[in-house]
Structure 1
Amino acid sequence: MAELMLFRHDPDGRDVELSGSTVTLEVELQRRVEAGLEQMLGIRFLASEYPTGPWHRGRIDTLGLDENGSPVVIEFKKGSDSGVLSQAVSYLSWLDSAHYEFEALVRNVLGAEAAETIDWRRPRMVCVAAGFSHHDRVAVQRLRERIDLVRYRIFDGGLLGLLLVDSPNGIPSAASSRRGREQATVDAVPRTPATSPPAGGGAVPECLRDLYAELDEALTVWGEVEVAPLRHYIAYRRLVNVASVVFRPKHEAILVYLRLDPDSVELEEGFTRDMRGIGHLGTGDLEVRVASAAHLEKAAPLIRRAFEAA
């Protein structure tokens, strides 16, 4: 299993490894992550300790809605717990039976617009724990549910480290809700230049297929990257969305929205744009316009910076 390590660079030039530990109380970890939930995991907070009723007989640590509109159940374990996956499946089963209850919660907390854009095809479970067994990692690859395994460590100085251990895509749900049935027609397909992921309800535009194949390679070269085809864009994510891809066939261009601070970039008219405060499809504050191989080459350092910071 991957080990999360953190080093401090001392004034004398030495790199000193910081010792990692776990929390004493589970609620300590829960409250800390909830306080920075959107920044850490790209998830908007809905509720804590949410009861699942007499049949499921549970209390969900945290409920949220991620940046792509997927419902999220989060469970925290201060140590390693072999029962976390059965708990995950049980809570996702509750979620599947509680569409209207969940939508009402989103409407009350985040507003009507957020409730109208819930994507029921891929609800997520995020398990945050001190560690996971080999059997846990094998099991999440076999389950149809989408379950993210996230390992945590507390370091000297109060630093919190999160490491994504596994994040299988899961199998899209048939979705029983009205919006779910409308969205169920947009499913992921094998990602090759000949059959690229759909976006906006259709395949990659013919005029952009070759360029997208090169862009896709540039976005997935950075190790474990999940590619999630959504209704209006394609998300490239780790713990959070790092890049979102939107096609503009009329302009024979692809817009890439990166999770990168526009203030750290020398903006160039017609190529990069600060999107803070400007509504757009996808997520990310920096827009990069890719219309040619030359544009893609210029975009490569920005893509690298976004993924290195993720």
Structure 2
Amino acid sequence: MTDLRLFSIKKDVVELTPKKVSLEKELQTLIENNLQTFFGVTFLKSEYAITNGRMDSIGIDENNCPVIIEYKRSINENVINQGLFYLDWLLDHKANFQLLVEEVLGKEKSGNIDWSMPCVICIANDFTKFDEHAVNQMQRNIKLVKYRKFDEDLIALELLNAPQVKPITDDYNSVSNINKKQKSIKDFSQSLADADETIKNLYVTVQNYIMAQGDNITENQLKRYVAYKKIKNFLCVVVYQSSVVLYLNINPDDVKLIPNCVEDVRNKGHWGTGDLRVFLKNIDDFEKYKYLIDKSYEEN
């Protein structure tokens, strides 16, 4: 388990001493008020009551997947099993979550919920080696985030694991208001299966290059695309029959745009997240533009 050290270098180099927040509710309020900044998650509700418990925080992420946030208040609290219980409950009560999203964000957002990769984020001052081992064995999308507070105005969030889990594919369309047009669109697996053989090979090359950037990357295969993230998305991939398309979390104003190759899509609808779109049709395109993958990873 890594240990984060933080130093002040204003005058003499001084190591800052980490501490716990004075009240756990203080941490929960801070996270909820800044969920989008910290995790790319839109906050929906605090203390969300269910039949046999109460979720600390609940939201929906940039990929339209449900997110449950639980805070570990003591070293002995089994917050991971608790989060897993809430996740299973949510999967059995999708209509409840859809209604919550509709009440907070509107009907259009509630109709685009993606149930393929729901997530639990467990936040604590520390985790044991048994916590990390348990999460790895569960093969569910559970993320352990360790926080450290320094002085009064600094907080560090450290992602301790990068779960690689398969999407939930048994029942994408169980929620009644997914329209017929959405149902008729190919999912990612089908699009990849139907792609030309050269495109399949190109996708594998791109995938391997992305995952080699660091061991803190999570690969989430969603309904229409694959999202690569550290804590938030830094790149999304969509596969078509004759191209692999990247959506990168890069300001288009910072790169040279090339029509039909590197494009600004801030005002264009598309699958995935990211304002910069890059078309790859062959290995030469990949070699030419892979520096943008590096840039997106480094900046996020």
SS at match of 2:117: coil
2:146 is the alignment partner of 1:151:
yes
Question: C-alpha distance in 1, partners of 2:84/2:230?
Answer: 22
2:271 is the alignment partner of 1:276:
no
How many residues align? The count is 292
Matched letter for residue 228 of structure 2? Y
> For 1:246-257, what aligned pairs fall within 5 Å after superposition?
246-249=238-241, 252-257=242-247
Residue 290 of structure 1 is matched in structure 2 by 280
Alpha carbons 2:192, 2:200 under 8 Å: kept: no
Question: C-alpha distance in 2, partners of 1:171/1:263?
Answer: 35
Give the alignment partner of residue 135 of structure 2, picking from 131, 140, 148: 140
CA RMSD of aligned residues (A): 2.8
Q: TM-score under structure 1 normalisation?
A: 0.83
Deviation at 1:66, TM superposition (A): 1.5
Residue 258 of structure 1 is matched in structure 2 by 248
2:209 is the alignment partner of 1:241:
no
Deviation at 1:215, TM superposition (A): 1.3
2:16 is the alignment partner of 1:21:
no
2:98 is the alignment partner of 1:103:
yes
Change (3 A) 1:199 1:308: farther
Question: C-alpha distance in 1, partners of 2:43/2:83?
Answer: 18
Change (3 A) 1:16 1:268: farther
Question: C-alpha distance in 2, partners of 1:198/1:47?
Answer: 33
Task: For residues 90-148 of structure 1, give each alpha carbon's deviation from its aligned partner in whole angstroms, at most 9, with x where no partner exists.
Answer: 21232133211111001111222221222223321110111111111111122253211
Residue 300 of structure 1 is matched in structure 2 by 290
Matched letter for residue 86 of structure 1? N
> For 1:195-214, what aligned pairs fall within 5 Å after superposition?
198=189, 200=191, 202=193, 204-214=195-205
Change (3 A) 1:274 1:94: same
Change (3 A) 1:206 1:111: farther
Deviation at 1:247, TM superposition (A): 2.2
Alpha carbons 1:198, 1:204 under 8 Å: kept: no
Question: C-alpha distance in 2, partners of 1:292/1:157?
Answer: 51
Give the alignment partner of residue 160 of structure 2, picking from 160, 165, 189: 165
Change (3 A) 1:246 1:93: closer
Question: C-alpha distance in 1, partners of 2:286/2:16?
Answer: 38
Alpha carbons 2:202, 2:283 under 8 Å: kept: yes
Alpha carbons 1:69, 1:118 under 8 Å: kept: yes
Change (3 A) 1:44 1:157: same
Question: C-alpha distance in 1, partners of 2:175/2:260?
Answer: 36
Give the alignment partner of residue 116 of structure 1, picking from 98, 111, 117: 111
SS at match of 2:160: strand
Change (3 A) 1:16 1:309: farther
Question: C-alpha distance in 2, partners of 1:94/1:280?
Answer: 31
Instruction: Note the residue ranges of structure 1 that are not aligned, 5 or more in a row.
Output: 188-196
Change (3 A) 1:86 1:16: same
Task: For residues 140-191 of structure 1, give each alpha carbon's deviation from its aligned partner in whole angstroms, at most 9, with x where no partner exists.
Answer: 12225321111111234612221111232445443496259999xx99xxxx
Matched letter for residue 211 of structure 1? L
Q: TM-score under structure 2 normalisation?
A: 0.86
Alpha carbons 1:20, 1:155 under 8 Å: kept: yes
Q: Percent identity?
A: 35
Give the alignment partner of residue 51 of structure 1, picking from 27, 43, 49: 49
Instruction: Note the residue ranges of structure 2 that are not aligned, 5 or more in a row.
Output: none
Deviation at 1:199, TM superposition (A): 5.7
Change (3 A) 1:89 1:165: same
> For 1:53-72, what aligned pairs fall within 5 Å after superposition?
53=51, 56=52, 58-72=53-67
Alpha carbons 2:251, 2:275 under 8 Å: kept: yes
Change (3 A) 1:204 1:264: same
Residue 215 of structure 1 is matched in structure 2 by 206
Alpha carbons 2:116, 2:222 under 8 Å: kept: no
